[in-house]
Amino acid sequence: MDLYSAMQYLLFVAIITALVKPLGGYMARVFSRKRTLLDRLCLPVERLIYRIAAVDPNVEMTGKEYATCFVLFSLAGTLLLYAVLRMQQFLPWFFPPYHTTPLSPDLALNTAISFSTTTTWQAYAGENTMSYFSQMVGLCAQNFLAGAAGLAVGVAFIRGLARQLSDTLGNFWVDLTRSLLWILLPGALLGAVLLVWQGVPMNFHLYAVARTVEGAQQVIPQGPVAALEIIKNLGTNGGGFFNANGAHPYENPTPLTNFIEMLAIMLLPAALTNTFGRMVGQPRQGWLFYWVMVLLFGCGLVFVHNFEQRAPHLGDEGFGNSSVPSGGNMEGKEVRFGTSGSALTAVVTSNTATGSYNSMHDSYTSLGGMVLLVNMLLGELIFGGLGTGLYSMVMAAAIAVFLAGLMVGRTPEYLGKKIGPAENKMIMLYALAAPLVILPLTALALSTRIGLSGLTTNSGPHGFTEILFAYASCFANNGQTFAGLSANSPFYNLTTTLAMMMGRFGLAIPALAFAGLFGRQRSTPPSSGTLPTHSFSFGVLLTTCLITMVALSYLPALALGPLLERLLFGR
């Protein structure tokens, strides 16, 4: 690894680490309703929202009520966005000469559910499909609302683990409002200003038509790009205003914007580990999770960089088998970002729920692409999305505690509370949801003509990987794709929709139920027989459990896809 790449990676991790504690403490104060610097601006708006919505902020909800509000809020957002998309040709800022992709009912439904679940899976070209009104009132608004809803669920989950002898997890509408007013809106405003400063457009101009040197006509889209760009990253949503996504010079014009956008993706999920430690009264628990995430993140980053930089056997049409270009495998990558900037973005976005990549992952080496796939198959727990990354890591820790308890013949405990039969049922539902959705849907696509028809450019093991990657991405509410799969068909629009909903609600509901069960218990003081869950040895156990679970669930599928491609073609 060259010095520039190493410095870029180390600087990125150092900035994240330095901001974890202050930002985590700020979020803990926000959701504990303690005084913050933004109270003077936000409290009057908060009270007005409660008055209009007839919400009593002092009334708390049980886990079941909280989950019901979460699902109904997401459903309302989906229906509203679906209506906007279906009627966009009658709404402002729709340009018929340029918005040429028809929004069929199945594509509109897929897009609506995609944005309301923070997946932002895009089976269309943004600039040729969505009007400014759809982008701002529909997609951008859902980026805020869905991101805030996910953060609210994560905070409610933490409360359940922290409380004792309590049936409630907080108030969903209060957590949602505070997520928006105190966290997402200020962060998006600051980030949008930085992006506009770097050249990202923010306007409602008509599309510009230019004449190229060769005499051809080129349409240059305009639009409110900066507003959508920052919240798609800060809210761990993904997607993009343009079809080229995070590589488009209007969305990501400079290496500095690339660095800022990656920080925006990682900051809140990383800081939530500190928020968790503060709210449960054991800061070392939060730091353990953070360093396990950093370890897995760093390993993935080193592997992807190494595979893409060395790029052996690029093929007869490439550079031959004996020499590699100095820049490594640059196929599908922007020269502006190079291997290091592309690898950083790929690992950040595949670890979180933000599919806003700046290079074509379909062009990565087989093992480089496999690392990105494994990041999503791990279950969105290496930082992950807003809220989801934290409760995914806690559920994985509960599995590690359970296995450790079996080894020594003791009832497993976590945070001084027992993990009994009811808690174990929620843990198993959570752990089995991903393989029970991703693998059958992949098998269905591979065994039917309508599923295989989406493979328009590749077949064999690479085509298999494209399909597996698509369903893993949708279940992880990530949204990125290998790009070699033509997914805008009724079959893929409907099956990926199923994966998105299961990845959003099939994980959040068991997590809230688990938190509710924990909240009813009384915490017992640690004894000599208590497993310390903040120690180095537990971190090793947790990391080993994570890798083992992925291997047991997906190793046969990985062997048929990227591993077989590597053995057959050597790239």
CA distances for 451 relative to 458, 465, 480, 496, angstroms = 13, 13, 19, 12
Burial class (CB within 10 angstroms; exposed 0-12, middle 13-18, buried 19+) of 101: middle
CA distances for 209 relative to 98, 222, 223, 244, angstroms = 11, 11, 14, 19
Q: Are the beta carbons of 434 and 553 closer than 8 angstroms? A: yes
DSSP 58-127: T--EEHHHHHHHHHHHHHHHHHHHHHHHHTGGGSTT--TTT--S---HHHHHHHHHHHHTT-----S-HH
d(CA 474, CA 468): 10
Residue 315's pLDDT is: 47
State the DSSP H helix or E strand holding residue 417, giving kind and residue range, or none if neither: strand 417-418
- Tokens representing 561 are 């896809």
CA distances for 78 relative to 45, 208, 501, angstroms = 25, 32, 11
Residue 28's pLDDT is: 94
- Residues in contact with 373: Cβ distance below 8 Å, sequence separation at least 6, in sequence order: 350, 465, 468, 469, 472, 558, 561, 562
What pTM, to 2 d.p., does this model score? 0.90
Would you tell me how many other CB atoms lie within 10 Å of the CB of residue 169?
A: 29
- Tokens representing 431 are 């752990």
Residue 177's pLDDT is: 95
- Of 191, 256, 255, 259, the closest CA to residue 225 belongs to 191
Write down the H helix ranges in 447-489.
449-452, 460-475
Residue 448's pLDDT is: 92
Between helices 388-408 and 255-279, what is the axis angle to 10°?
50
With tokens 């956008």, the residue in question is: 261
- Of 492, 501, 438, 497, the closest CA to residue 469 belongs to 438
Would you tell me how many other CB atoms lie within 10 Å of the CB of residue 154?
A: 31
Query: Phi, psi (5° rounding) for residue 237?
Result: -100, -60
Residue 364's pLDDT is: 87
d(CA 172, CA 456): 44
d(CA 100, CA 102): 6
- Tokens representing 456 are 């328009």
The tens digit of pLDDT for each residue in 47-83 reads: 999 999 999 999 999 999 999 999 999 999 999 999 9
Residue 534's pLDDT is: 87
Question: Hey, where are the domains in the chain?
Answer: 25-273
> In which residue ranges of the chain is pLDDT below 50?
315-325
Residue 135's pLDDT is: 83
DSSP 355-411: ---SS-GGGS-HHHHHHHHHHHHTTS-SS-STTHHHHHHHHHHHHHHHHHHHHHT--
Cα dihedral: 276, 277, 278, 280 (round 10): 80
DSSP 485-553: B---SHHHHHHHHHHHHHHHHHHHHHHHHHHHHHHTSPPPPP-TTS--TTSHHHHHHHHHHHHHHHHHH
- Kindly report the CA angle at 251 between 247 and 257, in degrees rounded to 5? 85
d(CA 105, CA 126): 17
Q: Are the beta carbons of 231 and 147 closer than 8 angstroms? A: yes
Burial class (CB within 10 angstroms; exposed 0-12, middle 13-18, buried 19+) of 52: exposed
Cα dihedral: 554, 556, 562, 566 (round 10): 140
- Tokens representing 152 are 């609210």
Between helices 255-279 and 141-162, what is the axis angle to 10°?
30
The tens digit of pLDDT for each residue in 407-436 reads: 776 778 888 888 888 988 999 999 899 999
Burial class (CB within 10 angstroms; exposed 0-12, middle 13-18, buried 19+) of 125: middle
- Residues in contact with 248: Cβ distance below 8 Å, sequence separation at least 6, in sequence order: 240, 241, 242
According to DSSP, residue 207 is labeled P
Q: Are the beta carbons of 136 and 188 closer than 8 angstroms? A: no
Residue 318's pLDDT is: 43
